[in-house]
Amino acid sequence: MTEPKPEAQYTFRRRGGDRIPFDVQVYANIVKGAILGLSRRNWSGMEHVPLDGPAILVWNHYSDIDPILVVHYVYNAGRHPRFLLKESIVRVPVVGAILKRSGQIPVKRGSAEAADSLRILREQLAAGHVVIMAPEGTVTKEPDRWPMRGKTGVARLALESGAPVVPIVQWGALGIHDRNRDPKFKLGRKPVTVRAFPPVDLSPWLGKEPSREDLVEVSDAIMEALRAGLAEVRGQEAPPLYDPRQQRPEESESSE
């Protein structure tokens, strides 16, 4: 007897999730077609992505292309993915208009608009939407592509909104594109793993005004959940959370 196909491997979207405008569905299917031509999916854990209500979905950001892979996963999970992106991308002809229409949130890093983006994300969550965030705010600087310590924006948003924080771990994106080695996309379908895990337990910090120390602890708890999930996916022991402001002892010794 043939085993049933796991829900997370479905080509089409889960039923019962967000309603998505028809034109956005058209754009999404075009992007999905391109992604399916480049990747061979190994998806799991989709049951941890709620079909309704607010949620903060966080992922380990280690390549230029992995946001698209995560968006594909979230879209097939039945949700309308919304995420922060560089304001300059919105100015790209055609692409910018599509991104705006699909509800994405442009932000200028290091500006007052960056702080205002958290307000917009709070509004999105209050309306029952999901938002996708990279807690580090950029591609990890960890030499072996493990997660590094995150910024406190996700922690503050989680504590203020009360929305669950769902870790989504992905691995394999560099098989498709690695700008440090080759600016061209590699043809052929490369294996890509995307796996969601249970929400991070933030109960010790909920229900009170968070201090700076609380925000750092929550941020670390979120990044540690991503690190543990990535260790499971990679089948390797994860190192301590990398802090780009502090070199590891072995790195200092190797530079002498």
Provide CATH code, domain 7-254: 3.40.1130.10
Report the pLDDT averaged over residues 224-248.
90
Q: What is the pLDDT of residue 10?
A: 63
Q: Is the pLDDT of residue 35 over 90?
A: no
DSSP state of 128: T
Domain boundaries, the chain: 7-254
Q: What is the pLDDT of residues 125-161, one digit of tens each?
A: 999 999 999 999 889 999 999 999 999 999 999 999 9
pLDDT of residue 2: 47
pTM comes to 0.87
Comparing 253 with 68, the larger pLDDT belongs to 68
The 3-class secondary structure across the chain, one letter per residue, is CCCCCCHHHCCCCCCCCCCCCHHHHHHHHHHHHHHHHHEEEEEECHHHCCCCCCEEEEECCCCCCHHHHHHHHHHHCCCCCCEEEEHHHHCCCCHHHHHHHCCCEEECCCCHHHHHHHHHHHHHHHCCCEEEECCCCCCCCCCCCCCECCCCHHHHHHHHHCCCEEEEEEECHHHCCECCCECCCCCCCEEEEEEECCCCCCHHHCCCCCCHHHHHHHHHHHHHHHHHHHHHHHCCCCCCCECCCCCCHHHHHHCC
Name residue, tokens 């990535």: 230
Position 28 scores a pLDDT of: 87
Q: If pLDDT is split at 50, 70 and 90, which confidence band does 9 have?
A: low
Task: Report the alpha-carbon distance of residue 108 to residue 238 in Å, rounded.
Answer: 33
Question: Lowest-confidence range among 62-66, 218-222, 230-234?
Answer: 62-66
254 or 72, greater pLDDT: 72
Please report the pLDDT score of residue 250 as a whole number.
46
What average pLDDT does the segment 77-87 reach?
86
